[in-house]
A and B are shown apart, each in its own frame.
Chain A
């Protein structure tokens, strides 16, 4: 489809003085464009009116703005229904490459900068020429399902159901146990959920249960588990079953990496793998099979919470674990719920209790595994139980390495501290032992009260943590190709969270949001707030799918990947590498995209060796053509060319910031923004090298345990792919060093010039690309 392109050059902000605008116009007209205009105040109503006039009167259906970075001033020049491309002349050319007229090399420098601007114009034009109009994705069903599945009927799930109901959404609340309420219903009292925070309150969960039962928007299913969740957000097919039973609709588990190998460590043949898979999932339906009896939900909130950490028999020997009078906080709660606190060994009323926060003695000050603010507060709360039972002479010792009472809970801590029978000290609990008279002796070193002390108590309580239910159990039981659970949760100790700081509630499965204790150790108040947050995310998700754009994080993106299946070799790279499990496959291994699961990162595009996965405005061909549009002088050693793929999420903003801060880098570099380094196909590297460019640099997010990649795995995958491409380049006689990847965080803009210039220096050292001129 041929387009009528309008091309507009902004000459303000010093662009007109720094560049030869007439020559830029010439370049554009030379590419066959008829409408090429300049404007000194393009980003103004007048400028916008000029463009609009061309759209209305001249039939312009694609617009290129050469001026300010697309990340700024984006609202004024926005024309719905029209392809708009922006070339950054200000940030990437003039601001980042100022030329001092007094410099003896001024003319040469000017030439470099002019060439840079001309290349960005060529790249923009070719991109627009090759882009196709975008049509939003529409689900197969007429309307997307607005109902929400909530897994877990504790405080978090109950709150989520009520929040959804208040927003007008129906929900199905699934609880494994016979009763709603979860752990919140097993408490004698609880930590406050509002001002003045200083006293214990009665558990709030009972009120939540009443409200849920009274709501006609909430369907409660107790004694029920999720067998499987199939399909995609907007149209999840949910198969439920009775707790603890087997179902043919139980989600199958794919083979693990180890299971795919035979005894000698060699990979099993496809046939054998299939057999093994069938054995492993005997009695379970294929994951792509659809349960006609399944319920339909639009989004899922995972509020399955936590379970108590249960110390192993030989754990915490120095704390006398195994002695009947050494118990966990959950066991203590159980005793306290029944009535007056009594000693397990002999039923005697307890007068003194040591609450132990950290098991490491003097060697390690870490709290118990899976401890959190919640476990600290629980110790304070339970200390108060004892004082309620024994107001005259009850003594509760709270022995801590860290007293975690964050935010408003400081008031709770203060309130309990005022009780004269609650004794607090920092210290290393080194030993707990039987004191020979029915109780225990607790030895504490390095206490605040001076030195090493020992205490005689009736009972010792270990402040053990809250283990997320997702640690050993998929819980959501997705019928996805990549398996029923979430990937890589061991990075977070089993907690269900994929990018804690940037995207709370978000999991690595689109449309499924985690809240409450499954996400991190938290209090009841925090869980309720979390439930509200996750519910809002679920509603956002439904809205996004309804409108046909990406759910997260590219919420403006209506496009989705298109597969040219005729050439698919069923290599499965896309299905395996998709960080979000968006792709399923059929028996033969042909991928099946679920667009509403897809986050449009392009990792599949970067993975595909056949280059058959493309977007309408971002494809192998478009980027390849942009690379080829860059003019590479054949015989000028001063004009080497470096191609930079910059991740749009962190690296590209860092470049903009560097430019705005007046930092400068080599004018020989040409920058192409990419959605994620995961979308960089090695074909582009080959394109760059074959068109005579001298080096390629990939600027992406940090990866590893503390990854910052918006798409979780993109930069990590890219690193692996580039290692492979280096090998194949070497076989062609091109130095592997010409391709490099660098990690940059969004706030490391000051590092940008160094990264680019140092690499440029390495390229100069290597000399021109031997393929130049071919």
Chain B
């Protein structure tokens, strides 16, 4: 007989979940209505019923190893039908928020970005940083500071190079923290799925090529189309808004990269080839950027409306975390569009401050990627990938090149079926 699992409920974990919006967790009495009504739950590993009990029992490590937490899109169906008002949807949201904090490094940043005050402070700090950099840059360019003379060209205030210097350093931190978090998460959910215990005793490790083609790409495709999100019962409108925001990010990210390459590389190599910013309004990249900006604002506004309505209806609960992300994205979009319009109107006294605000918001949003609710981008994608990966590993089709099936659903070496 396998070693008996010693259970040590973590009371702090339960309290943490309750504080993060899952205060109803203890009402669950395991009727399983939630798992039945959930459009995404599977027969093999139904959720959110088991997560409710684990959360009640403060089994943090067990939940950390549970990818199902991330397969939930919080449609609220379970909450709507729960006969005891235990609000499983909100509990899973709370668990996710706590998981993000758990994987965040350094923790101080996560704690900072946890409150509205912290976020506003970060925006202000980012703006000050931008101003400092711009001031130093003005010493080099001899442009007037803080309001350069002549028509409004942000280039005069801050060229792409110092911006890149600023943002690439944030990127480095974000990428480091993100990868670290995702790897730890991957390790935990692999362990939770019992994948570390093959008969060979080795962990299943993917080889990059097949992994990308067979697991990552299908997951990304699913995310890009929101195929699964759209199944969520209560939230068709939410999926649309979310899809718009996602695609606007992709568009804006792409044009930013293009502009970066153009301005940082090509413009320096070929100073007269017309790679200067700002781009003219009919430039395809500019058109794409403007479309992206409009989609971002429209999408986030849809999400805001939906969240307001569903919160009022009681289908979902909204926490500070939820509103921070919505308003931060909204601020990025609106400040960006405002900066562009004011630039075109050539009102220097307004344009530069708005530009600084925009950069501050973007920097904060960017920085919060691994630390705030924004991190669902990382962990949900990882969970999607892991789901199909784990299924194949268990079936002996991936990872080890196994001949023998690893059956059952295991936890820390113990079959828990």
Q: Which residues of A contact B (CB under 8 A)?
A: 393, 395, 414, 417-425, 443, 448-456
Alpha-carbon distance A420/B59, docked complex (angstroms):
12
For residue B53, which residues in chain A have a CB less than 8 angstroms away from its CB? 425, 448-449
* B283: interface (CB < 8 Å): no
For residue A395, which residues in chain B have a CB less than 8 angstroms away from its CB? 9, 11
Alpha-carbon distance A451/B14, docked complex (angstroms):
21
Residue of B nearest to A352 (CB): B9
Please give me the 4 A-B residue pairs with the lowest Cβ-Cβ distance, nearest first: A450-B416, A420-B14, A453-B7, A451-B416
Q: How far does the Cβ of B1 sit from chain A's closest Cβ, in whole Å?
A: 8
Residues of B1-39 contacting chain A, CB below 8 A: 4-9, 11, 14-15, 18, 26-27, 29-30
Contact between A417 and B29, CB atoms less than 8 A apart: yes
* B84: interface (CB < 8 Å): yes
For residue A419, which residues in chain B have a CB less than 8 angstroms away from its CB? 26
- Which of B5, B62, B84 sits near A452, CB closer than 8 Å? B5
- Which of A418, A451, A456 sits near B8, CB closer than 8 Å? A456
Contact between B414 and A423, CB atoms less than 8 A apart: no
Residue of A nearest to B54 (CB): A449
Residue of B nearest to A419 (CB): B26
- Which of B6, B14, B57 sits near A456, CB closer than 8 Å? B6
Contact between A450 and B50, CB atoms less than 8 A apart: yes
Known interface pairs A393-B11, A449-B53; A454-B27 also in contact (CB < 8 Å): no
5 more CB-based (< 8 A) A-B contacts, given A453-B7, A455-B7: A425-B53, A450-B5, A451-B5, A452-B4, A454-B7
Residues of B321-348 contacting chain A, CB below 8 A: none
- Which of A421, A424, A449 sits near B7, CB closer than 8 Å? A449
For residue B8, which residues in chain A have a CB less than 8 angstroms away from its CB? 456
Q: How far does the Cβ of B219 sit from chain A's closest Cβ, in whole Å?
A: 27
For residue A453, which residues in chain B have a CB less than 8 angstroms away from its CB? 4-7
- Which of A414, A423, A443 sits near B4, CB closer than 8 Å? A443
Contact between B26 and A454, CB atoms less than 8 A apart: no
* B415: interface (CB < 8 Å): yes
Q: Which residues of B contact A (CB under 8 A)?
A: 4-9, 11, 14-15, 18, 26-27, 29-30, 50, 53-54, 56-59, 62, 84, 411, 414-416
For residue B15, which residues in chain A have a CB less than 8 angstroms away from its CB? 420
A-B contact pairs, 14 of them (CB 8 A): A417-B27, A418-B26, A420-B15, A420-B58, A423-B58, A443-B4, A449-B59, A450-B50, A451-B414, A451-B416, A452-B5, A453-B4, A454-B6, A454-B7
For residue A393, which residues in chain B have a CB less than 8 angstroms away from its CB? 11
For residue A423, which residues in chain B have a CB less than 8 angstroms away from its CB? 9, 56-58
Contact between B9 and A418, CB atoms less than 8 A apart: no
Chain A contact residues: over half helix, strand or loop, or mixed?
strand
Contact between B59 and A421, CB atoms less than 8 A apart: no
Alpha-carbon distance A395/B13, docked complex (angstroms):
13
- Which of B27, B58, B59, B415 sits near A451, CB closer than 8 Å? B415
For residue B27, which residues in chain A have a CB less than 8 angstroms away from its CB? 414, 417-418
Alpha-carbon distance A419/B11, docked complex (angstroms):
10
Chain B contact residues: over half helix, strand or loop, or mixed?
mixed
For residue B11, which residues in chain A have a CB less than 8 angstroms away from its CB? 393, 395, 420-421
Residue of B nearest to A455 (CB): B7
Q: How far does the Cβ of B306 sit from chain A's closest Cβ, in whole Å?
A: 30
Q: How far does the Cβ of B3 sit from chain A's closest Cβ, in whole Å?
A: 9
For residue A456, which residues in chain B have a CB less than 8 angstroms away from its CB? 6, 8
Q: How far does the Cβ of A199 sit from chain B's closest Cβ, in whole Å?
A: 15
For residue B7, which residues in chain A have a CB less than 8 angstroms away from its CB? 449, 453-455
For residue A421, which residues in chain B have a CB less than 8 angstroms away from its CB? 11, 14
Residue of B nearest to A413 (CB): B29
Alpha-carbon distance A423/B8, docked complex (angstroms):
11
Alpha-carbon distance A455/B29, docked complex (angstroms):
21
Q: How far does the Cβ of A703 sit from chain B's closest Cβ, in whole Å?
A: 41
For residue A454, which residues in chain B have a CB less than 8 angstroms away from its CB? 4-7
Q: How far does the Cβ of A432 sit from chain B's closest Cβ, in whole Å?
A: 13
Alpha-carbon distance A405/B327, docked complex (angstroms):
46
Alpha-carbon distance A422/B14, docked complex (angstroms):
11
For residue B411, which residues in chain A have a CB less than 8 angstroms away from its CB? 450-451
Alpha-carbon distance A424/B52, docked complex (angstroms):
12
Contact between B84 and A414, CB atoms less than 8 A apart: yes
- Which of B26, B57, B416 sits near A425, CB closer than 8 Å? B57
Residue of B nearest to A403 (CB): B29
Q: How far does the Cβ of A414 sit from chain B's closest Cβ, in whole Å?
A: 6
- Which of B18, B62, B84 sits near A420, CB closer than 8 Å? B18
Alpha-carbon distance A453/B18, docked complex (angstroms):
24
Alpha-carbon distance A420/B25, docked complex (angstroms):
9
Alpha-carbon distance A421/B18, docked complex (angstroms):
12
Alpha-carbon distance A423/B58, docked complex (angstroms):
9
For residue B4, which residues in chain A have a CB less than 8 angstroms away from its CB? 443, 452-454
For residue B54, which residues in chain A have a CB less than 8 angstroms away from its CB? 449
Alpha-carbon distance A424/B27, docked complex (angstroms):
11
Contact between B84 and A449, CB atoms less than 8 A apart: no
For residue A449, which residues in chain B have a CB less than 8 angstroms away from its CB? 7, 53-54, 57, 59
For residue B9, which residues in chain A have a CB less than 8 angstroms away from its CB? 395, 423
Q: How far does the Cβ of B66 sit from chain A's closest Cβ, in whole Å?
A: 11
Q: How far does the Cβ of B88 sit from chain A's closest Cβ, in whole Å?
A: 15
Q: How far does the Cβ of A376 sit from chain B's closest Cβ, in whole Å?
A: 14
Alpha-carbon distance A443/B411, docked complex (angstroms):
18
Q: How far does the Cβ of B239 sit from chain A's closest Cβ, in whole Å?
A: 32
Q: How far does the Cβ of B388 sit from chain A's closest Cβ, in whole Å?
A: 23
Q: How far does the Cβ of B34 sit from chain A's closest Cβ, in whole Å?
A: 14
Residue of A nearest to B1 (CB): A452
Q: How far does the Cβ of B402 sit from chain A's closest Cβ, in whole Å?
A: 24
Alpha-carbon distance A455/B7, docked complex (angstroms):
6
Residue of B nearest to A442 (CB): B7
For residue A450, which residues in chain B have a CB less than 8 angstroms away from its CB? 5, 50, 62, 411, 416
Contact between A417 and B26, CB atoms less than 8 A apart: yes
For residue A418, which residues in chain B have a CB less than 8 angstroms away from its CB? 26-27
Q: How far does the Cβ of A508 sit from chain B's closest Cβ, in whole Å?
A: 41
Alpha-carbon distance A451/B410, docked complex (angstroms):
10
Q: Which residue of B9, B50, B415 has the most chain A CB atoms within 10 A of its CB atom?
A: B9
Residue of B nearest to A452 (CB): B4
Q: Which residue of B27, B57, B84 has the most chain A CB atoms within 10 A of its CB atom?
A: B57
Alpha-carbon distance A423/B54, docked complex (angstroms):
10
Alpha-carbon distance A653/B18, docked complex (angstroms):
60
Q: How far does the Cβ of A458 sit from chain B's closest Cβ, in whole Å?
A: 14
For residue B5, which residues in chain A have a CB less than 8 angstroms away from its CB? 450-454
Residue of A nearest to B16 (CB): A420
Q: Which residue of A395, A422, A451, A455 has the most chain B CB atoms within 10 A of its CB atom?
A: A451
Alpha-carbon distance A747/B124, docked complex (angstroms):
81
Q: How far does the Cβ of B284 sit from chain A's closest Cβ, in whole Å?
A: 55
For residue A414, which residues in chain B have a CB less than 8 angstroms away from its CB? 27, 84
Q: How far does the Cβ of B295 sit from chain A's closest Cβ, in whole Å?
A: 43
Alpha-carbon distance A713/B56, docked complex (angstroms):
53
For residue A424, which residues in chain B have a CB less than 8 angstroms away from its CB? 56
Alpha-carbon distance A479/B201, docked complex (angstroms):
79
For residue B58, which residues in chain A have a CB less than 8 angstroms away from its CB? 420, 423
Alpha-carbon distance A448/B52, docked complex (angstroms):
11
Contact between B30 and A448, CB atoms less than 8 A apart: yes
For residue A443, which residues in chain B have a CB less than 8 angstroms away from its CB? 4
Alpha-carbon distance A726/B407, docked complex (angstroms):
69
- Which of A420, A448, A451, A452 sits near B26, CB closer than 8 Å? A420
Alpha-carbon distance A414/B29, docked complex (angstroms):
9
Q: How far does the Cβ of A304 sit from chain B's closest Cβ, in whole Å?
A: 36
Q: How far does the Cβ of B381 sit from chain A's closest Cβ, in whole Å?
A: 27
Alpha-carbon distance A114/B53, docked complex (angstroms):
73
Q: How far does the Cβ of A485 sit from chain B's closest Cβ, in whole Å?
A: 43
Q: Which residue of B4, B5, B53, B411 has the most chain A CB atoms within 10 A of its CB atom?
A: B4
